[in-house]
Amino acid sequence: MSKTSRTLITMPKTARKGALIEISVIAQHDMETGFRRTETGELIPRDIIRTFTCTYNNIEIFRADLHPGQAANPQMTFTVVASESGEFQFKWVGDNNYISTNQSFLIVN
């Protein structure tokens, strides 16, 4: 069974053709490094988001590989040229069967 979490996407709903738009994404996740120990000295298992991808009309436009040093609730901001109306798909994949997805639609005029 996969684990999911709350995700937030901030991006415009409309844009002019050729405009540069900013997209900000955040996933609610503890990002446990695997280096910390419990009060009894046992290692807390690693549980991190490993990759984030964004597609625009089924074409990958952004990818990030995350590592144990990444803060909890990782946030990323990137830009893209609004070339045509379409769907953005966002996907986070991590340890312990973690998968979280979200989508947003952009209207280009």
Q: What is the pLDDT of residues 27-51, one digit of tens each?
A: 999 889 999 999 999 999 999 999 9
Average pLDDT over residues 62-75: 93
Domain-embedded: residue 1: no
- Domain for residue 2, yes or no? no
pLDDT value at residue 20: 99
107 to 12, 13, 27, 87, 96: CA distances (angstroms): 9, 6, 24, 9, 36
pLDDT confidence band for 68 (50 / 70 / 90): confident
- Tokens for 105? 């639609």
Domains held by the chain: number: 1
Residue whose token pair is 């996933």: 27
Residue span of the structural domain in which 32 resides: 7-108
Its pTM surpasses 0.75: yes
* Residue 85 belongs to domain with CATH number: 2.60.40.10
Task: Give Cα separations from 91 to 21, 66, 87, 105, 106 (angstroms).
Answer: 19, 13, 13, 15, 17
* CA–CA–CA angle 91, 12, 23 (5° rounding): 40
pLDDT tens digits, one per residue of 81-101: 999 999 999 999 999 999 999
